Structure 1
Amino acid sequence: MTDSPTSVNLNKDEQKSAESDSKSSKGSGLWFKIKSLKIGFMPVGLWLVLAVGYVLLAITNVMPKNDMLISLGVMVVFSYLLEEIGNNIPILKSLGGKVLVVTFLPSFLVFKHWLPDSTVKTVSDFMNNNNFLMFFITLLVVGSIASMNRKTLLKATSRIIVVLLLCDVIGSLVGTGVGMALGLSAYKAYFFIVAPIMAGGVGEGAMPMAMGYAAILSGTTSGDIFGQILPAVMLGSLVAVVCAGAMRKLGEKKPELTGNGKLIDDESDKLESLKTKGGEVSIEKMLMAMVMAIAFYFLAVWLNYVIKTYLHFNLPSPIIVLIVLMAAKMLGYIPKDIAEGGAALNTFVVKGITPPLLFGVGVAQTDWNKLIEVFKSPASMVVILVTVLAIVATAFISAKVLGLYPVDTAIAVSCCSGQGGTGALAILAAGDRMELMPFAQVAVRLGGAMTVTVAIFIMGLVV
C-alpha cells in the first residue's frame, strides 16, 4: 500500500521539526557549555566584565594610584587566567605548572616590557607598600594552627625539626661535593651557592648572609656579595616549586605516602577534623579567627621592637606569631569557636588570595634578570639542582623513618630552599598543601637562621 500525498507531507514536516529541535538542542548545549565555563572560581561572563574594565583603564591610561580595589582587580584578572593556562599545559601541569605560569610568566612579561607600565606600577606599589604577603602568611598560619589538633601539632613540630637538621647537613655535603666534582672550589660551592639556597629567602636570608660575609672579607661590599648569591636563591626556589609539583603527583599515585596536608597520622586529629569541618562554619567564627590573627601580629610587632631595642637581636614578626600561637594551641588556650573559624579562614585564604598574591609576587618581587643569571654557569645550575633534590630526598626518607607522611614532609621542608615567604607560598601552592604553611615557616625561618649563622661562622674560621 502506497502513502498518500498528505501522509508524505506530514512525514516531511515531522522530519523538519525533529531536525529543528535537534539543532536547537545542539545550540542550547553549546550555549550551556559557554555559560558553564569558569576562569578560576568565576563564571567566564563575570571575568570578562572585570577584564573589559581593566582594559578600558589601561588603554586610556587612567589607572588610579594607590587604589587597593584597582590593584586587587588587576591581580585577579591576570592571576586566574594564567592559572587556567598553567592547568592545561601537558606535563607542566603535573609539576606545579599553574604556579610556575602565575609567578614566573609575569616576571618575564615585566622584563620584556610587555605589561603596561601603569599595571606594573599599580601592582608593585600595592605589594611593596601594603605588606600583603605578611597579611596572607599571618592569616594562613593562624588558620592552620588554630584548627589543628594540639597533640598532633606537638608531635609533628618536634619531628620536623629533626628532619630539617638532617636536610641542612646532607644538603650542604651533597651540594658542596657535587660542586667540587664539577671543578668548583669547596669555598665557592658552599658559601656562594649551597648556603644561600638554604638561607631562608632574600630579606632575612641572603641579605644578612651577604652582610656577614662582607664583614669578614676585606675589599668587598655586601652589595657585591648579595648580587653573587641572589641567583642561587632564585633558581633554588624555582627547582623547589617543580619538586613540590612532582611530590603532589606522587601523592596522587601512591595515596599511602601522603596525608593530604597533614604531616602525621593521628586518630584524635581525625576526630577533631570531623568536628571542625563537618558542618557549616559561621562568618562570625571566621571573623573571630581573623581578629585573633591581627591581635597576634600586633603582639609580634611589639615584641620584635623590644627584642631589637634591648637585646640587639632580630627575631622576625612571623616567627614570633608562630611561636606564640603554637604555645597557645599546645597549652589549650585557643577556644573551640576560634578553632572552627580557623578552618574556614584557612580555606578562604587558600582559595581566594593565593593566585592574586602569586601574580603580585611575580610582578613586584621576582627579578627575571637575577633568575637567568645562574644559567650562565652550567656547574652552578647542577649544584643548585642537586642541592634541592638532596633536601627533598632527605626529607622524604627521614619522614618515613620518623613516622611522618613523606610527601607532605618533603614539600614543607623544601620551603627552606625557597625565596622566604614568597618561595614558601609558591612551593606550597605547587604542591597543593597550603595547610602546611606553619611548618613551612619553621623550615624557612629556623632553617634559614641556622644556615646563615653556620655559614658566617665557618667563613670566619677558614678565611
Structure 2
Amino acid sequence: MQQDSSLIDAAALSLLSTFDSKLVVVRWWQLMDKRIGVIPLPVYCFALVCLGFLLAFEKVSGDISIMFALLAVFGFTCAELGERIPGLRQIGGSVIVTIFLPACLVHYTLLPNELVQSINDFWQLTKILYLFIACVIVGSILSMDRQTLITGIVKIFIPLAAGSVLATIVGTLTGIALGLGAHHTFFYIIIPIMAGGIGEGAIPLTLSYADILNLPQNQLFAQIVPTIVLGNLVAIICASLLNQFGKCHVRYSGQGRLYAADDDALAKPTDASSVTVEHIAAAGMVAICLYMLGVLVQKLIGLPAPVAMLFFTVFAKLTDAISPKLENGARTIYHFFSTAVTYPLLFAIGITITSWSDLMAAFTVANIITIVVTVLTLTTVGFFVGKWVGLYPIESAIINACHSGMGGIGDVAILTSAHRLQLMPFAQMATRLGGALTITVALILLGLVS
C-alpha cells in the first residue's frame, strides 16, 4: 500500500513538473510575442543591455551587425514613444519623434559622441539610403498592375502641376501679406520647399543663385535649409492627417493604391508559398543592378540615379522582362525593407542629416504661416484635382505632399507617416522631376529679374 502511495506521489510530481515546464514555456512564448517594433521584447532588452555595455566601454564599431542592432533598438524605441504620446500620434508622432528627437539630442550633445560618430561613419560609408530606395522602388513597381502603373504615371502629373502652380501663387501672396516681400518669399521660401530636397535641390539651387547674384553660396544655403526642413515637417503632419481621414472616409482612400479603376487587378492574391529564398535573392540582385544602371546614367548625362533606375524598372515591368516569380520575390523584399528597415533608417537620418538648429531658425511667425499655407495648398489641390482625374484623392494628395519634402529622405518620412511606402515610385517622380522643373523655372525667372 505504501509502495502504491509512493508511485502515485511520484506520478503526481512528474505531472506537476511537466505542467509547470509547459506553463513556463507558454509564458515565455507569450513574452516573445510582445514586440518593440519588430523586435521581441526579451531580445530588445538583451540588445539594449549589450549596447549599453559597448557604449560604456567605448567599443561601438562600424560592424554592420552592431550598427543595425543599434539603429533598430533606438529607431523602434523612438517610434514606439511617438505612437504613445497623445495628440502627437495622430499627426505622425512615430516618424516625427524618430527623426527630430535624435536631432535634438545631437544638438544639445546629450548622446555619447562615439555613438553619433559611429552612425555618421556608417551612413557615409554604406549610403544605405540608396539601397533602401532601390529595393522599395523596384519592389513596389514590380508589384503593381501594369495598367495601373501606366495610368498612374500619366495622371499623377496633372494634380502635381496644378498644385505646384497654385501653391506658388497662394504662398507668395501669403508672404507678401505678412511683410516678407514677393522676391524673398518666392525665391527663398516657395522654391526651396518644392526644389527636391537638400542634395538634389538646395545645393544646385544655391550654387546657381550664387552665380547669378554674386553672393556666397554657403550664406544662401544656410538661409534656405531651415525652410526645407520645416516644409518637410509640415508635409509629414499632412500625410498623417490624410491617413487618419482615409480611415474615417474610406471612399477617398485607396489604402496605398493609386488608381481606382484597377482595384480588382491590384487585389489579386499572390501565392506566397511559391516564393523561395532563391527568388528573393535574385530579385535583390535585380534591384541592385537596376540601381547601378541608374548610377551609370547619372555619370553620363546627370539624371539622378533613383530617377533613371525608376525609368528602367518601369520599362522592365512593361516589357515583361521580369518573371512573375521574381516579381513576387521583389514584393517580399519591399515588405521586408518597409517593415524592418524604415524606422532604423529614420533614426539614422535624424542623427546624420537633420539639423535641429536649422529647424529652430525657421520658427518665425511669418515663415511658419507661409510654409504651412504653401504645403497645405499643394496637398489640398492634389486631393481635389486627383479626384477629378480619377485617382484616389488621399493618395494623390500624399504624392503632392512629397513634392515639398527633403528629397528621398523626405519621401521615406512622409510615406511612412501615411503608411503608404508603396507609393515611393510616384513620390520619387514628384520629388526628383518636380524639383528639377521647379529649379529650372526659378533660375530662368531669377535671371530675368536680376
Q: TM-score, normalised by structure 1?
A: 0.89
Percent sequence identity is: 37
Matched ranges for 1:122-137 at <5 A: 122-137=118-133
Deviation (angstroms), 1:244: 0.6
Corresponding residue of 1:361:
349
- Structure 2 gap segments, 5+ residues each: 1-23
Deviation (angstroms), 1:328: 2.0
2:57 matches 1:60: yes
Aligned with residue 414 of structure 1, among 381, 386, 401: 401
2:233 matches 1:238: yes
Aligned with residue 188 of structure 2, among 171, 192, 196: 192
Given the superposition, is the C-alpha separation of residues 138 and 189 from structure 1 closer, same or farther in structure 2, using an over 3 Å criterion? same
CA distance in 2 between partners of 1:277 and 1:127 (Å): 36
Q: TM-score, normalised by structure 2?
A: 0.92
Matched ranges for 1:269-280 at <5 A: 270-271=264-265, 273-276=267-270
CA distance in 1 between partners of 2:276 and 2:33 (Å): 29
Given the superposition, is the C-alpha separation of residues 154 and 35 from structure 1 closer, same or farther in structure 2, using an over 3 Å criterion? closer
- Structure 1 gap segments, 5+ residues each: 1-26, 308-313
CA distance in 2 between partners of 1:346 and 1:45 (Å): 27
Corresponding residue of 1:47:
44
Give a deviation string over 1:169-213, Cα, whole Å, max 9, x none: 111111001001111210000000011000000010011110111
Deviation (angstroms), 1:345: 1.3
Deviates more, 1:338-347 or 1:141-150: 338-347
Deviates more, 1:29-38 or 1:101-110: 29-38
SS of the residue 1:448 aligns to: helix
CA distance in 2 between partners of 1:276 and 1:33 (Å): 30
Corresponding residue of 2:35:
38
CA distance in 1 between partners of 2:71 and 2:117 (Å): 12
Corresponding residue of 2:279:
285
Deviation (angstroms), 1:31: 8.1
CA distance in 2 between partners of 1:175 and 1:258 (Å): 27
Q: In 1, are the aligned partners of 2:31 and 2:42 still within 8 Å (CA)?
A: no
Q: In 1, are the aligned partners of 2:103 and 2:350 still within 8 Å (CA)?
A: yes
CA distance in 1 between partners of 2:264 and 2:327 (Å): 14
SS of the residue 1:417 aligns to: coil
CA distance in 2 between partners of 1:29 and 1:229 (Å): 56
Give a deviation string over 1:405-462, Cα, whole Å, max 9, x none: 1111111221111111111110000000000000110011011001111111101011
CA distance in 2 between partners of 1:367 and 1:280 (Å): 45
Aligned with residue 223 of structure 2, among 215, 221, 228: 228
Corresponding residue of 1:300:
294
**How many residues were matched structurally?**
428
2:73 matches 1:85: no
Matched ranges for 1:301-450 at <5 A: 301-307=295-301, 314-375=302-363, 377-450=364-437
SS of the residue 2:135 aligns to: helix
CA distance in 1 between partners of 2:381 and 2:256 (Å): 19
2:211 matches 1:215: yes
CA distance in 2 between partners of 1:118 and 1:449 (Å): 38
Deviation (angstroms), 1:45: 0.5
CA distance in 1 between partners of 2:324 and 2:120 (Å): 39
CA distance in 2 between partners of 1:228 and 1:139 (Å): 34
